[in-house]
Every structure is written in C-alpha cells, then in structure tokens.
Amino acid sequence: MKDESCIFCKIANGEIPSSTIYEDENFRVILDLGPASRGHALILPKEHFADVCALPDGWAAKVLPLGAKIGAAMKKALGCTGFNLVQNNGVSAGQTVFHFHMHVIPRYDGALSIVSWEPGKASPEELAELAKEIKDAL
C-alpha cells in the first residue's frame, strides 16, 4: 500500500529521482540528502509503513540483513571502519519522515560519535519495577 502524500513512497517507487545505491522488489536504498557522514544511506520499503511498529514481520526480517549488506559495501567502497544502523520511531525519537526507514551511517576513524548518550544511574529496585511495567505491557 502506498500513501499518495508520502515523499518516501514516491522516492522508493521511483516517482521522484534519488541517488539509489540498491533496489530490489521490496526496497530501495538511497543516499540521504542531509548526510550525518559521507555516504549516509536510507533503506526504504516500497510500501508505506509509518514506523517499525507498523512494519510486518516479513518486511522487518529483511531489513537487518540489508543493513549489513549495505554497511559491508560502505566499508569496502568508502574506507569507513564501521557503521551505525539507526531507526527512529516517533517525534520524540527524532523521526521526521513518517515512512519507515533505516539509516545506514558510515563511521570513520577519528570522527565524533553520532549515536551516544551520557549513561544515567538506576538502582536495582528501579530496574526491577521498570522491567515489570514493560513486561506487563508486552
């Protein structure tokens, strides 16, 4: 299913041109217009799913192997020594385009960290309580 008002539906299906690095019957992988690093790519399903919660299992199962394949190619082609697979869900998580996508971000030696945080503190009691709350919602 496509969403007529969704730019990533149009890009994924070739209605809007993009710098495509990979395509198969289900996915198109393009270069990000606002790259976090040289070669930053986006894996786009050709059907519209708003986020990972809407992505059917069969589609989801294909995304991680594709991310690994693209990341491995980046290491060969670009000289990056690693890559981040990043996937934002919801405004609070930084999602700005509401068509599922996985970022593949090449990482180069000496560059600043992109995906990092200051570790907080949590007591065993807090962790146990949190774990129960989440488990009960599964």
Q: Which of 17, 58, 65, 94: binder of ligand AMP (CB under 6 A)?
A: 94
Compute the distance between CA of residue 76 and CA of residue 27 in angstroms, rounded to an integer: 22
Evaluated on CA atoms 68, 73, 78, 79, the torsion sign reads positive
Active site residue 103: no
Q: How far is the CB of 10 from ligand AMP (least distance, A)?
A: 9
Q: Which is nearest to 102 in space by CA: 83, 125, 127, 122? A: 83
Compute the distance between CA of residue 69 and CA of residue 55 in angstroms, rounded to an integer: 20
Nearby residues of 112 by Cβ (< 8 Å), 6 or more positions away: none
Q: Does 134 bind ligand AMP (CB under 6 A)?
A: no
Stretch that binds ligand AMP, among 20-28, 45-53, 67-75, 93-101 (CB under 6 A): 93-101
**Residue 6 binding target from ligand AMP, Zn ion, none, CB below 5 to 8 Å by type:** Zn ion
- Which residues form the interface with Zn ion (CB under 5 A)? 3, 6, 8-9, 48, 99
Active site amino acids = 101
